Amino acid sequence: MAIVFEEASTIASVVHWDIYANYPSTVNANDILICKIGQNITGQSWSTGVSGWVEIYDASWGCVYYKRATGSESGTAKFTSTKSNVQSAVIYRFSGCITTGTPYEQNANRAALDNNVDIPDLAGDTTGPNRLVIATVQITDDLYSNTGATNYTSQDEQVSSVNLGSANHLWTVAQAAAGRPGADSYGIELTGYDDMTINVMALIPVPAAGGGYANDVNTVGTAAIGKINGVATADIGKVNTA
């Protein structure tokens, strides 16, 4: 089953400790929601007062959370910082992800003061095919991209002019085979430098009905095939451990 980027919420922006991120207009059970938040001040940490959200990344300029939706989500989700300043947040909705366990793998992160958005590569190769690799970007200025990335496709760009301004961008690349897409970059409408955070992860799909992933049997990896009750076939044939 292919993972699909369904929609983004409207950007929320405020000068405060708390930010109320908008939920997308439609949320279905087992959708994966990714919330990207940024702030243009260093030294803070983040928390969420809304149950069900799991932290992926927390740094001075931004954080990322995920939630496996129940389908009842609506309105806003409140996130809290330890310092008051400009914040922006967008929640992205994806369908087709695994319905149990951690829905992503091999995440990588970058926080920088830069005039170009450099998307880091995944931390390692994915363990299977048909991943959707996503890059969430938050910039502490109201900037759109002015060039495209090489491998990634732009899915959503939103800006807010509150105070000094802020921007949230989403880029994705479908990865048919196990591996990683490589680092990438794109330009932004900027003559100087700005704070930004970039977070990359590979979302894991629901296994194909009846077959699992390529080279798997009923979703059991080939490395595990050939074991009986957890005993490797190399040890089968031994009697009384002799």
pLDDT in tens, the chain (242 residues): 799 999 999 999 887 778 899 999 999 999 999 999 987 655 556 666 667 899 998 876 778 999 999 999 999 999 887 766 767 899 999 999 999 999 999 999 998 888 899 999 999 999 999 999 999 999 988 899 999 999 999 999 999 988 778 899 999 999 999 999 999 999 998 877 888 899 999 999 998 775 444 444 444 444 454 554 555 555 545 444 44
Q: Tokens 């059991």 correspond to what residue?
A: 220
Handedness of CA 44, 37, 86, 75 (dihedral sign): negative
Q: What is the pLDDT of residue 143?
A: 92
The pLDDT value given to residue 227:
52
Q: Are 118 and 135 in contact (CB under 8 A)?
A: no
Q: Give the residue among 52, 113, 58 at the shortest CA–CA distance from 81.
A: 58
Phi, psi (degrees; rounded to nearest 5) at 74? -160, 165
Residue pair 227/128 in contact by the 8 Å Cβ criterion: no
Cut 0.95: pTM above it:
no
Task: Give residue 165's pLDDT.
Answer: 84
Tokens of 40: 């243009």
Please calculate the CA angle 21-4-79 and round it to the nearest 5 degrees: 15
